[in-house]
Amino acid sequence: MDITKKDIDALNAVVTVEIKKEDYEGEVKKVLANYRKTANIPGFRKGHIPMGMVKKQYGQAVLVEEVNKLLQGGLQKFLTEEKLDVLGNPLPKNENEIDWKSEDFTFEFDLGMSPKFEVDVTKKAITNYKVVADDKMLDNQVKTIRKQYGKLTSKDKAEKGDEITGTFSNEEKGVEKSTTLELDELKGKSQIKALTGAKVGDVITLKTKGMFAEDHEIQKHIGLTPEDAKDVDELTFKVEEVNTREMAEMNQELFDKLFGEGVVKSEADLKSKIKEDAEKQFEQQSDQKMLNDVVESLIENTKFDLPKEFLERWIQVSSEKPMTDEEAKAEYERSEKGLRYQLIEGKLRAENNLQASFEELKEYSRGMIKAQMAQFGQMDPSDEELDNIAARIMSNQEEVQRMGEQLNTNKLLQFFKEKAKLKTKEVTYEKFIKEAYE
């Protein structure tokens, strides 16, 4: 068997595989000899069938199968040994021209070659948000906590600051949503006026437009997306409960309920603890935003060509369902951006050793186990306990894959933090959401 590669251009090549009779003849004879021993042909005893008849009945199929085995094995070995960086899989070029009645065969395959390029993570400055919990947020959090742990008292009618439990309805639009809201949450003056003084059992008609200040409140209380809510002019609200909430006192009993005995000893400590916990959560969000922005920047600023025509053919051939040329082109357009980033990320990982090793995965699993055990009060598990649980986790292929994705993302994130051109910007959470996502 002889295999050669001819470059068409930097992104396309043709591999030619020549298979001669002596390459496959021995294996074909062996298979046919076995068929002769086991085949059932009417009129002949098993094992006594003439070889000529076996060849006539099975020879062509065995030949094709053995040649294809040889072809696929040889082609894969060639790609590996030559260290060819290809996209997709080799595509047969002349399969319809093969004459299976001949003794020697020549197969041709198109290859789509991975492009050569350099990645510069410092080419464009990326904003790295440092989100801080400001005094307004801390005060609101303290207020929320005091309400949550406060005393709830039922009332006959609603007044400013009260909580009203009821059901929003609109039969025509399929709305039927039970909720609890505070009068202070409402933005619309007409809605506030309509609900002030409302009693249990009252059914009140409310305008939907302008009811809440924030879009997410529409989803929370009415069960509609902001877009769907635009098609609903009015809702009825049946009042089922009216309650006033007396806020909990700021004392040691409250602090101990929240964080454990003696951890927090004053309102200042409480705000400090809230600030610390909140900013840890904010860091995860800002990290994800930074990661997304770096990825977008790399896709935009790392220029290279792709073997477009080859990839369109490969998409068409590898599709589970029949696909027209136009559908394949459209699918390529949809997937091109993702493919570009796969190549960029792959190069970054290979050149900077950013792929998680088995030992790193094992240590990562131990850290996750320790964190989970700490939540249930097991603060100091033994190494033996950790190793036993980690071993069970590492035997689960799906769990290993999930952890590997998390760890690889963390390694890439840390790499960008160290190497990318970042400009830190300190903002409140409210401003972060506005700048980052609106």
The CATH number assigned to the domain holding 7 equals: 3.30.70.1050
The answer to whether position 119 is within a domain reads no
Domain stops at, among 196, 218, 246 = 246
The answer to whether position 65 is within a domain reads yes
Tell me how far apart the alpha carbons of residues 348 and 353 are, in angstroms, rounded to a whole number: 8
Residues 325 and 433 in one domain: yes
> How many domains are contained in the chain?
3
Classify 123 as helix, strand or coil.
coil
Query: What's the pLDDT score for residue 37?
Result: 83
Classify 425 as helix, strand or coil.
strand
The strand pair at 105-113 and 86-92 is best described as: antiparallel
Residues 51 and 98 in one domain: yes
Residues 236 and 269 in one domain: no
Residues 427 and 311 in one domain: yes
Query: What's the pLDDT score for residue 227?
Result: 86
Tell me how far apart the alpha carbons of residues 166 and 99 are, in angstroms, rounded to a whole number: 78
Question: CATH number for the domain including 168?
Answer: 3.10.50.30
Residues 359 and 279 in one domain: yes
Domain stops at, among 113, 141, 173 = 113
The answer to whether position 118 is within a domain reads no
Residues 219 and 274 in one domain: no
Query: What's the pLDDT score for residue 387?
Result: 87
Domain stops at, among 211, 246, 281 = 246
Q: If 0-12 CB within 10 Å is exposed, 13-18 middle and 19+ buried, where does residue 311 land? A: buried
The answer to whether position 7 is within a domain reads yes
The answer to whether position 380 is within a domain reads yes
pLDDT, tens digit only, all 438 positions of the chain: 999 999 999 999 999 999 999 999 999 999 999 888 887 777 777 777 888 888 888 899 999 999 999 999 999 999 999 999 999 999 999 988 999 999 999 999 999 999 999 999 999 999 999 999 999 999 999 998 998 899 999 998 999 989 999 999 999 888 999 999 988 888 889 999 999 999 999 999 999 988 988 878 888 899 888 888 888 999 999 999 999 989 999 999 999 999 889 999 999 999 999 999 999 999 999 999 999 999 999 999 999 999 999 999 999 999 999 999 999 999 999 999 999 999 999 999 999 999 988 899 988 898 889 888 887 878 788 888 888 888 888 889 898 999 999 999 999 999 999 999 999 999 999 899 988 876
Residues 311 and 385 in one domain: yes
Q: Smallest Cα–Cα separation from 293: which of 130, 436, 410?
A: 436
Classify 199 as helix, strand or coil.
strand
Query: What's the pLDDT score for residue 308?
Result: 97
Tell me how far apart the alpha carbons of residues 253 and 237 are, in angstroms, rounded to a whole number: 38
Question: How many alpha carbons fall within 13 Å on the CB side of residue 314?
Answer: 20
Residues 240 and 369 in one domain: no
Residues 77 and 170 in one domain: no
The answer to whether position 419 is within a domain reads yes
| Measured CA angle at 348 (ends 347, 349), to 5 deg | 90
Range of the domain at 196: 151-246
Tell me how far apart the alpha carbons of residues 413 and 345 are, in angstroms, rounded to a whole number: 12
Give every CB contact of residue 420 below 8 A, 6+ residues apart in sequence.
121, 122, 126, 294
Residues 410 and 299 in one domain: yes
Residues 283 and 350 in one domain: yes
The answer to whether position 134 is within a domain reads no
Output the pTM of the full model.
Answer: 0.75
Residues 402 and 271 in one domain: yes
Q: Smallest Cα–Cα separation from 108: which of 6, 187, 188, 232?
A: 6
The answer to whether position 206 is within a domain reads yes
Query: What's the pLDDT score for residue 49?
Result: 81
